[in-house]
C-alpha cells in the first residue's frame, strides 16, 4: 500500500505537536555529579562523606536513597571528571619498626635461614 501526501502532512504536524524535549530521568550517578562542587565544599568544611550522604538521603524518596559505598564511588568518579583533587592524600603508610630476625650461623649452606623453627612457636604459659 502506497502512502499519500496527506499522511506525510499529518505525520509532520504530529511531530511538531510533540513537546520539544522529554524530561530525562536523572540517575543517582548524575545526581551526585551535578552536586559534586557542593559536596566538595562541605568536605573541605569538615563534614564526612557519611554525614553528607545521610543529608542527601533525607531529600531523596524511599527506595531511591544512596548506599554509602555506592555514594563514595560516585563521589570519586565525579571528582575525577570535574578535575577536583581529593581533600586528603591517601598514601600507604610504611611502618618504620624494624623486624627482628635472628639467623643461625651458615654451616656449609649457601642460603641464610630465618631464625630456628622452634622459636616460631611462642610459649603460651600452659601445659600441653
Report CA Rg, the chain. Answer: 32
Q: What does the domain layout of the chain look like in residue ranges? A: 26-82
pLDDT at residue number 111: 57
Q: What is the pLDDT along the chain (128 residues), one digit of tens a residue?
A: 677 788 888 888 888 887 666 677 888 999 999 999 999 999 999 999 999 999 999 998 888 899 999 999 999 999 999 888 877 766 666 655 555 555 555 555 555 555 555 555 555 565 55
pLDDT at residue number 55: 93
Burial (CB count <10 Å: 0-12, 13-18, 19+), residue 53: buried
pLDDT at residue number 3: 72
pLDDT at residue number 15: 82
| Phi and psi angles of residue 20, each rounded to the nearest 5 degrees, phi first | -65, -35
- Indicate the pTM of the whole model: 0.53
Grid coordinates representing 45 are: 568544611
pLDDT at residue number 109: 56
DSSP H helical ranges for the chain: 5-17, 28-34, 36-44, 49-59, 68-82
Amino acid at each position: 500500500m502506497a502512502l499519500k501526501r496527506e499522511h506525510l502532512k499529518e505525520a509532520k504536524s504530529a511531530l511538531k505537536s510533540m513537546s520539544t524535549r522529554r524530561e530525562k530521568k536523572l540517575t543517582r550517578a548524575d545526581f551526585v555529579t551535578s552536586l559534586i562542587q557542593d559536596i566538595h565544599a562541605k568536605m573541605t568544611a569538615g563534614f564526612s562523606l557519611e554525614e553528607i550522604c545521610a543529608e542527601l538521603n533525607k531529600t531523596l524518596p524511599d527506595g531511591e536513597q544512596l548506599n554509602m559505598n555506592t555514594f563514595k564511588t560516585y563521589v570519586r568518579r565525579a571528582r575525577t571528571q570535574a578535575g577536583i583533587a581529593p581533600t586528603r592524600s591517601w598514601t600507604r603508610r610504611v611502618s618504620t619498626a624494624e623486624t627482628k630476625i635472628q639467623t643461625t650461623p651458615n654451616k656449609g649452606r649457601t642460603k641464610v635461614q630465618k631464625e630456628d623453627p622452634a622459636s616460631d612457636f611462642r610459649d603460651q604459659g600452659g601445659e600441653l
